[in-house]
Structure 1
Amino acid sequence: MVERTVTRAEAGRSPRECTDLVVAVVRDRRVLNYTDPEAAVLKVTDRVITIQRAATSST
């Protein structure tokens, strides 16, 4: 899991439209579930908690 800022390309969109799997949105020091109506549209000031795929090593 990773917490990161919302990109300008993601702002104005739904958490479901992100390339990463968003599980929560951090807005104004509050953690909102990605299904919360208040988190339906991402803001550029938001942070998202996402699940990212683990990097694979090439051997």
Structure 2
Amino acid sequence: MAEGGKLYGWVAGAFRMDDATWARHASPWSVWTRVPIALLLVLAIWSRVWLGWWALLPVALVGV
């Protein structure tokens, strides 16, 4: 368990995450919005097969 603490400390230091940043990052809203957005981004990138260059529009919309 001590090794995990060192790893988390290293990651937090690398990303300069303090307690407030961790709380914001780990909030339920953060998780529940991140999952569907990732799926929409994959779908938008995959749609390039049949949309061609117009696939940049859904990618841009997901990015907003």
TM-score (norm 2): 0.18
Q: Please state which structure has a larger fraction of its residues in helix.
A: 2
Tell me which structure has the larger Cα radius of gyration.
2
TM-score (norm 1): 0.18
